[in-house]
Structure 1
Amino acid sequence: MSYLVDFKNVTTTGLESSPVAEALAGLRANEARYFRNKYNTEFVVTPAVESTETVEWVRKILKEERGIGVASKPLETATLQIENIKWVFVFYESGLGINVLYPLDNPKKRAVGFKLSEGMDIPQELEKFKFARQKSKLAGTIRGSFFVIKGEY
C-alpha cells in the first residue's frame, strides 16, 4: 500500500526491519522535503514487493553500468516524473537509498546517486566510490556519491 511521506512528523513506517530505521526514515523524509520545497510535489512511497518492476529497472542499471549488485533487501520505492525528468528511488534495509535521475530528453544528465543513512557502513559493493558528507536536520549526516549513466534504459 502506497503512502505519502510526511517530513514534519518522521516515522519509520515500512522501514521497521532496518537496523538504522530512524536514520533511513530521516533520509526518506529529507527526499520528501526536497521535492515538496523545490517542485511542490508530494513524495509517495510504495512497498518494494508491490513495485518489483521499479526495483528491477534500478537493478538492471546498476548491473549493466557498473557491475553492482546490491546485497540488501529493497524495502520501498518512489517514482516521480517532473516535466521531462524521471526520478526513481529505492530504499534498502541496510539504510542505503539509491536514486536514479533520468531526464528523458537529455541523456548526458542521467545519473545514479547513492545515499548512506547515518550509522550504516559503506556496503562492500560500493566501496570503490568516494562519499561526500551532507548534514540534514531530518537525517543527521548523509554520505553520498554518484555515477553518470551511459546507456539507455
Structure 2
Amino acid sequence: MADVVDFQTVSTEGLESSPVAEALAGLRANEARYFKNKYDYVFTVEPADEAKSVVDWVSGILAKERDIVISSRPLEATTFVVEDIRIAYVFYESGLSINVMYTIEDASKRAVGFKLSEGMDVPAELDSFKFARQKSKLAGTIRGSYFVIKGEYDPSGV
C-alpha cells in the first residue's frame, strides 16, 4: 500500500534503518513538495519489496547505461506519470535517492538523477560523478548529479 509523503510534517517512517534517516526523510519530503508545487501531484511511496518492478527498472538502467550496481539496500520506491514523463524514485538505506525521468515520447529528455542526503558519503559506485550542492529547508544540504539516458527501457512494466 502506498503512503503519502507529507512535506509539512516530515516523518522518517519507512526509513528508520538508515543511518541518516532524518536527512533522507527531508530529502523525500523535498521531492514531494517539488511535485506538488510543479505538477499538483501527491507523492506516494511504498516499501521497496512491494515495488520490486520499479527497483528492477531503475537498477537495469543503471547497469546497462553505466555498469553501476548500488550496494545499499533499497527502502522505498515509487513510480508515476506526469505530463508524459514516467518518473521513478528509489530511496536507499545509505541516504541515496535515485530518480529516473523518462519522457515517453521524446527520447532526448531522459535522465537519471542522484541525490545524496546530508551526512552521507558519496558511495564508491558513484565516485566518478561530480556533485553540485543545493540548500533545502526540508533536507539541509543536498548534493546532486545526473546522467542522460541513451538507451531505450520499456517503462510499461513499472
Normalising by structure 1, report the TM-score. Answer: 0.99
Provide the residue aligned with 2:156 in structure 1: none
Counting only pairs closer than 5 Å after superposition, residues 29-44 of structure 1 correspond to structure 2 as 29-44=29-44
- By how many angstroms is 1:2 displaced? 1.5
User: Distance in 2 between the 1:52 and 1:85 partners?
Assistant: 20
- By how many angstroms is 1:78 displaced? 1.3
Provide the residue aligned with 1:22 in structure 2: 22
- By how many angstroms is 1:83 displaced? 2.2
1:104 equivalent in alignment to 2:89:
no
* Cα RMSD after superposing both structures: 0.5
1:63 equivalent in alignment to 2:63:
yes
- By how many angstroms is 1:27 displaced? 0.2
- By how many angstroms is 1:146 displaced? 0.1
User: Distance in 2 between the 1:104 and 1:95 partners?
Assistant: 29
User: Distance in 2 between the 1:123 and 1:129 partners?
Assistant: 10
Deviation by residue 1:69-122 (Cα, 9 ceiling, x = unmatched): 000000000112012101100000000000000000111110000000000000
Runs of 4+ in structure 1 deviating by more than 3 angstroms, as ranges, are: none
User: Distance in 1 between the 2:136 and 2:83 partners?
Assistant: 27
> Number of paired residues?
153
Counting only pairs closer than 5 Å after superposition, residues 3-152 of structure 1 correspond to structure 2 as 3-152=3-152
User: Distance in 2 between the 1:83 and 1:2 partners?
Assistant: 21
Structure 1 SS opposite 2:108: helix
Letter of the structure 2 residue corresponding to residue 30 of structure 1: N
Letter of the structure 1 residue corresponding to residue 6 of structure 2: D
User: Distance in 1 between the 2:37 and 2:51 partners?
Assistant: 26
Letter of the structure 2 residue corresponding to residue 32 of structure 1: A
- By how many angstroms is 1:30 displaced? 0.1
Deviation by residue 1:34-78 (Cα, 9 ceiling, x = unmatched): 000011110000100101111000000000000000000000001
User: Distance in 1 between the 2:134 and 2:106 partners?
Assistant: 27
Unaligned runs of 5+ in 2: 154-158
Structure 2 SS opposite 1:142: strand
User: Distance in 2 between the 1:55 and 1:3 partners?
Assistant: 17
Unaligned runs of 5+ in 1: none
